[in-house]
Amino acid sequence: MVTRAESAAVTRRALLDAAAELLDVGGPEAVTLREVGARAGVSRGAPYRHFTGKDSLLTAVTTESWQRIGDQVHALRADSALSASDKLRGALLTLVGVGRGQPHLYQMLFRRRGHRPEDLGEGLDRVRRQLCGPADPAADRVRAAGRFQDEFLAIVADLVGERNARHYGALLLTSAHGIADMELSGHLDTGKLHTTADELIDTLVRMVADAGETT
């Protein structure tokens, strides 16, 4: 016999999957609680029993995405068959791969402060948050993104040491984000620049590996 908690977990899972699919297809504008509920095959009121509104739903989607990316980077870090350089290359390509395969999600992951779902709460979202107290709907997302960063910095530290990990980590992440954004926007034109995202990632890894050998 299915318990109420198990049934609620199944419903929440279906809602999150439906929201992620709609986001992939049409961006944030395509994600409404009505469309998500219909796609998930649940009652019209079911989404509101799990999320305060569209914004909290999108925050949950981005949280799960950071958790998944963090898991992938952790798996790379724990793989003893990979060299330190291969682990770093894999971690950077994991980020770029999200941009390639799920561009709307990628843009959600890297939205500026003030433009993230939890910053935009309007209507029922805002009212419900006022009634339910000061709980921060972004706390889980921040923790998940922080875990990814910790896993990534641990990989970088294997190449350049703990003391230099944050400096080179910031350089690598900003570079990878720029590469992904250039590729997404179509400005990484191989006809003019004569390179690809993968070649640029390889160059970054070599540069950091060489820096590690001299520190």
Q: Which pLDDT value is given to residue 124?
A: 45
What percent of the chain lies above the pLDDT cut of 70? 87
Q: What is the pLDDT of residues 120-138, one digit of tens each?
A: 554 444 444 444 444 556 8
The whole-number average pLDDT for the span 159-169 is 96
Higher-confidence position of 53 and 86: 86
Residue 69 has pLDDT above 50, yes or no: yes
Q: What is the pLDDT of residues 141-152, one digit of tens each?
A: 999 999 999 999
CB proximity list for 104: less than 8 A, separation 6 or greater: 23, 24, 26, 27, 28
Nearest residue to 14 via CA among 43, 45, 36: 36
Q: Which pLDDT value is given to residue 165?
A: 97
Terminal CA-to-CA distance of the chain, rounded, Å?
A: 61
CB proximity list for 1: less than 8 A, separation 6 or greater: none
